[in-house]
A = this chain, B = another copy of it.
Amino acid sequence: MTAALAAPLFPTPGLLERLRPHAAATALTGCDGCPARALAVCQALADADMDEFGAIGDQQRFAPKEALFRQGDDADAVFTITSGMVRLYRLLSDGRRQILGFLLPGDFIGLAPDERYASTAEAVTPVAACRFDARAYATLAERKPRLLASLRRAAADELAAAQDHMVLLGRRSADERVAAFLIALRQRLAVRGGGAVTIALPMSRQDLADHLGLTIETVSRVISRLARERVLLVVPDGVRVLDAQKLQALAAA
């Protein structure tokens, strides 16, 4: 139904390219040319330290739905996402799910390395990630104050994001949740060099619902209505922001 309108805007140039691993083109060893280099925790390290750093980590790839780790597993590794998107979630015993966040290139997982993982991390798109042995990583961090400082900043950011999300879940309406989520994701994609108008949504509606504390139907209805009101344009695997101001107003900061 939006096809007539959508057509002239297509094809979006490489909507999800930046989220996808760049084929086998990238050499899997070393941090040179890592697409997440400028974003990640590792940027804190001097070039001289990178060899040592690269030595304890190795690139891994994950297919969609494949888990980086599962809730309850021994927490023996930490990760930096280099491409793709990861969902981090917790399950209740009866199957209810809360997605804690969607991770993008440059994001770090494992700031809270307790004995066991408290949540599951699963690839949404094909994912590439640097995997580090948790123990080796911790040891290295102890000797590199700049890395440690960088980790602290990452932890601070993540905590702030978690608090934002608590406000969203506790005190916002369905419309506000969707709008606020889209604005936040757009911001994060923009930092990573994504276009500023098209927001990639490679995750399913169920994923969105489980992140926003809603049902799949409510998410669908809200997005449909925003499209009808010409705030958004629904495109495959994403949305285009037609009226950023209105979207902002809906988010009700």
Chain A residues within CB distance 8 Å of chain B: 90, 92-94, 96-98, 100, 111-114, 118-119, 142, 145, 148, 151-152, 155-160, 162-163, 165-167, 169-172, 210-213, 252-253
Given A160-B118, A163-B162, are A111 and B155 also a contact pair (CB < 8 Å)? yes
Nearest-neighbour CB distance to chain B for A158, whole angstroms, equals 6
Given A93-B253, A160-B114, A252-B93, are A166 and B167 also a contact pair (CB < 8 Å)? no
Q: Is the CB of A92 within 8 A of B160?
A: no
- 6 further A-B contacts with Cβ under 8 Å, apart from A97-B171, A170-B212, are A118-B163, A159-B159, A162-B163, A169-B169, A169-B170, A171-B210
Contacts of A94 in B (CB 8 A): 252
Q: Is the CB of B163 within 8 A of A100?
A: yes
Q: How many copies does the complex hold?
A: 2
Q: Is the CB of B167 within 8 A of A112?
A: no
Contacts of A156 in B (CB 8 A): 111-114, 155
Complex alpha-carbon distance, A121 and B151, angstroms: 25
Contacts of A90 in B (CB 8 A): 163, 167
Contacts of A172 in B (CB 8 A): 92, 96
